[in-house]
Amino acid sequence: MISTKMAQAINEQINREFFAAFLYLAMANDATEKGFNGTAHWMTLQFQEEQEHALKFSKYLQDQGHKVVLDALDAPQTDWKGILDMFEDALLHEKKVTAWINDLYTLAIEEKDYATQSMLRWFIDEQVEEEASCNDAISALQHVGDSANGTYMLDRQFGKRQED
């Protein structure tokens, strides 16, 4: 069984993961509104992935005999200048998530909570992928610059993303 302090910290992360899902859903909606259906698809898959992360943390907490406590979520931003801005904001948010997961891991080390350390390793690896995925999209979008044709082609490419 994990400590109450760890359970509270994981509960906070569950709520952060649900906020991340809301943020990606807001990006998907804005992308659709702007006619970037490929980006909307990419962001929708990311929305689903963030929900799965929240549920993975929830199951772990319940398996450890603690209650999941859901809080009210802040409303996410709902409008971006374009898809480059979306991916840049996504990367900034993923970096925050990485820092929060690292903080959880540090707490697990301090508490000699080996089970939580083991569970968090998956999330640490996942965050490397999350940041790399955003960085790749940003790099590609920066390369095409203001080219409408280039942006169109990248949007189509983003639409080919498969579920992980």
Q: Please check the confidence at residue 164 and state whether its pLDDT lies above 70.
A: no
- CA 136 to CA 147: how far, in whole Å? 18
Q: What is the reported pTM?
A: 0.94
What is the CATH number that goes with domain 4-70+78-158?
1.20.1260.10
Average pLDDT over residues 74-85: 96
Given CA atoms 142, 145, 146, 147 in this order, what sign does their dihedral have? negative
Domain ranges of the chain: 4-70+78-158
Model pLDDT for residues 3-41, shown as the tens digit of each residue: 999 999 999 999 999 999 999 999 999 999 999 999 999
Q: How far apart are CA 138 and CA 119, in angstroms?
A: 30
Give residue 54's pLDDT band: very low, low, confident or very high (50, 70, 90): very high
- pLDDT level of residue 2 (50, 70, 90 thresholds): very high
